């Protein structure tokens, strides 16, 4: 008998879409039905998905399924009220992120809905799964602090159910290091491949570009993350400085735009020496991980999720002082540039635990446990 799985992704950002698509690829014999909503109008999307789906997608939601997978942004408690049949399905709630540690500076940080909707969804689930231990730890810590602020004391079962959660990452694609293309050793090819939003540390990226510019370092920086209707003003200055750097060093200008075509994007990664993160908010770091699989040496903050899978050689200390941190990164890049010039390979990082075969076994066990229950 074919297993029938319903997947609900209420804010289908890139990592959310990759998660559900790769799961379908890992289990092609299952019958998958997916409902997703585009990643915009964050606060409304988080609270309004149950209203939209409950009245617009009733036929799909009331079909026969064996298992429900919902992202933590699904307003599952309300959706179950609109479609009671969903309450009888074994349910997994998957956390790509949590808003308890979202960097200050956005209106959503002052809104309690992004905290309560995932909390209620988790309490509806039979299994709670996070994409990293960092995500799980910060969610549990944030939830505990929130619960302590409430005027009523909740039963201990609430905390117990949240703690009875596990970690299974988003699986990585099968990328062949053997297809890597070597470039000239007289320069360093660096890629910054994150969303063009402030939580990815655009202020630190600007400070770093200013430092590289002031030293006239032969570093070709590619800035290729996903863009949105609004983008931090830092990118205007970054663009200007990179143009000036190209003129000073005589190097071709690096990419400075989102690359839509996947194969073109992976082609770029295979020509880069270093993948850089300046993030202030990252719960798995798919962009870093995919670049590592393509042969890049990662360089990321010694914070967030990165200590879970990056060796110390691939992390830089974060002081919070932009000038100090930019200097630290520039010094490491200069060192690695000297390595390349001397014919020494840059340090590589293994990511075996995230690759398809290993992750598939963990999801298979999770599905089997619920389907047998």
25-45 pLDDT, tens digit each: 999 999 999 999 999 999 999
How big is the chain by its Cα radius of gyration, in Å? 22
Compute how many other C-beta atoms are within 10 angstroms of the C-beta atom of residue 59.
7
What is the band of 103 on the pLDDT scale with cuts at 50, 70, 90? Answer: confident
Region of poorest pLDDT, from 116-125, 155-164, 168-177, 316-325: 168-177
Q: Is residue 183 pLDDT above 80, yes or no?
A: no
pLDDT at 110: 59
Region of poorest pLDDT, from 80-84, 108-112, 258-262, 352-356: 108-112
From edge to edge, which strands make up the β-sheet containing 219-223?
219-223, 188-192, 274-276, 297-301, 315-316
Q: Which two tokens stand for residue 293?
A: 């699989």
Evaluate whether 69 touches 8 at the Cβ level (below 8 Å).
Answer: yes
pLDDT at 357: 87
Q: Is residue 322 pLDDT above 90, yes or no?
A: yes
Q: Is residue 349 pLDDT above 50, yes or no?
A: yes
**334-360 mean pLDDT:** 94
pLDDT at 148: 92
pLDDT in tens, 195-213: 999 999 999 999 999 999 9
**115-128 mean pLDDT:** 96
The helix/strand count (H/E) of the chain reads as 13, 11
Q: Is residue 66 pLDDT above 70, yes or no?
A: yes
When the pLDDT of each residue in the chain is averaged and rounded to a whole number, the result is 94
pLDDT at 317: 98
Percent of the chain with pLDDT over 70: 97
- Transcribe 25-63 into DSSP letters: HH-TTSEEEEEE--S-SHHHHHHHHHHHHHHHSHHHHTS
Evaluate whether 298 touches 314 at the Cβ level (below 8 Å).
Answer: yes
pLDDT in tens, 293-308: 999 999 999 999 999 9
Positive or negative, the Cα torsion across 223, 209, 179, 286?
Answer: negative
Q: Is residue 104 pLDDT above 90, yes or no?
A: no
pLDDT at 107: 43
Q: Which two tokens stand for residue 194?
A: 């994150």
Domains of the chain, CATH where assigned: 4-171+355-372 (3.40.50.2000), 177-352 (3.40.50.2000)
pLDDT at 179: 62
Of 91, 90, 80, 147, nearest in space to 116 by CA: 147
SS3 category, 93: strand
Angle between helices 156-163 and 133-149 (to 10 degrees): 170
């Amino acid at each position: 008998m074919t297993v029938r799985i319903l997947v609900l992704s209420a804010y289908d950002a890139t990592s959310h879409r990759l998660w559900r698509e790769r799961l379908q690829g890992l289990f092609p014999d299952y019958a998958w039905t997916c409902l997703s909503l585009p990643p915009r109008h964050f606060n409304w999307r988080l609270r309004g998905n149950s209203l939209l789906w409950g009245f617009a997608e009733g036929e799909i939601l009331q079909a026969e399924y064996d298992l429900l997978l919902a992202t933590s942004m699904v307003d599952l408690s309300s959706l179950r009220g609109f479609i009671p049949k969903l309450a009888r399905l074994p349910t997994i709630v998957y956390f790509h992120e949590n808003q308890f540690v979202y960097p200050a500076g956005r209106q959503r940080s002052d809104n309690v809905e992004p905290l309560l909707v995932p909390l209620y969804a988790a309490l509806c689930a039979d299994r709670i799964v996070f994409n990293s231990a960092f995500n799980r730890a910060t969610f549990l810590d944030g939830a505990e602090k929130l619960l302590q602020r409430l005027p009523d004391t909740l039963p201990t079962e609430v905390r117990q159910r949240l703690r009875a959660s596990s970690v299974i990452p988003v699986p990585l694609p099968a990328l062949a290091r053997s297809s890597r293309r070597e470039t000239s050793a007289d320069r360093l090819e660096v890629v910054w491949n994150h969303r063009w939003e402030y939580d990815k540390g655009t202020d630190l990226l600007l400070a770093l570009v200013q430092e590289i510019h002031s030293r006239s370092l032969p570093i070709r920086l590619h800035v290729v993350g996903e863009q949105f209707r609004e983008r931090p003003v830092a990118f205007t200055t970054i663009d200007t400085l990179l143009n000036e750097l190209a003129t000073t060093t005589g190097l071709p200008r690096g990419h400075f735009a989102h690359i839509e075509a996947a194969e073109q994007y992976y082609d770029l990664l295979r020509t880069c020496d270093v993948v850089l993160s300046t993030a202030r908010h990252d719960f798995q770091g798919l962009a870093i991980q995919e670049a590592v699989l393509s042969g890049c040496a990662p360089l990321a903050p010694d914070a967030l999720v990165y200590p879970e899978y990056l060796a110390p050689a691939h992390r830089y200390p974060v002081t919070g002082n932009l000038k100090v941190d930019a200097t630290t990164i520039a010094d490491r890049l200069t060192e690695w540039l000297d390595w390349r010039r001397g014919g020494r390979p840059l340090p590589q990082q293994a990511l075996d635990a995230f690759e398809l075969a290993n992750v598939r076994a963990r999801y298979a066990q999770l599905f089997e446990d619920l389907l047998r229950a």
